[in-house]
Amino acid sequence: GENVEQHPSTLSVQEGDSAVIKCTYSDSASNYFPWYKQELGKGPQLIIDIRSNVGEKKDQRIAVTLNKTAKHFSLHITETQPEDSAVYFCAASGVQGAQKLVFGQGTRLTINP
């Protein structure tokens, strides 16, 4: 089955700087790659997703890139703000879509003012 590895486990950046979180996956059949943000005491919330037919997607300060050949994808947050502090999870799923999502271990992002 699918295995998703996520790095780093913790990340601390200065406010205004950029943050990058990377994930690798094992199943070449995976075609859907969402990113979820989890704040303390809350459930995960989708922030951006990408499908295998595109290499990059942007939404304001957030972007995701996908390299299917290398089987890795990354989350980029620019101009970081204190409210970006949270735990971020990548995930991957195959032909059955979101129903077979496998999550990474998470990255705790801290934005220092």
Q: Which helix (H) or strand (E) holds 5?
A: strand 4-7
DSSP 8-state class, residue 22: E
CA angle 27, 5, 79 (to 5 degrees): 115
Toward another protein, which CB reaches closer, 34 or 84? 34
Please list every residue from 40 through 79 that binds another protein, using CB under 8 A. Answer: 41-46, 49, 51
Are the C-beta atoms of 21 and 8 separated by less than 8 Å? yes
**By CB under 8 A, residue 31 contacts another protein:** yes
Shortest distance (Å) from residue 88 CB to another protein: 10
**By CB under 8 A, residue 34 contacts another protein:** yes
The 11-30 contact track toward another protein, x by CB under 8 A, reads --------------------
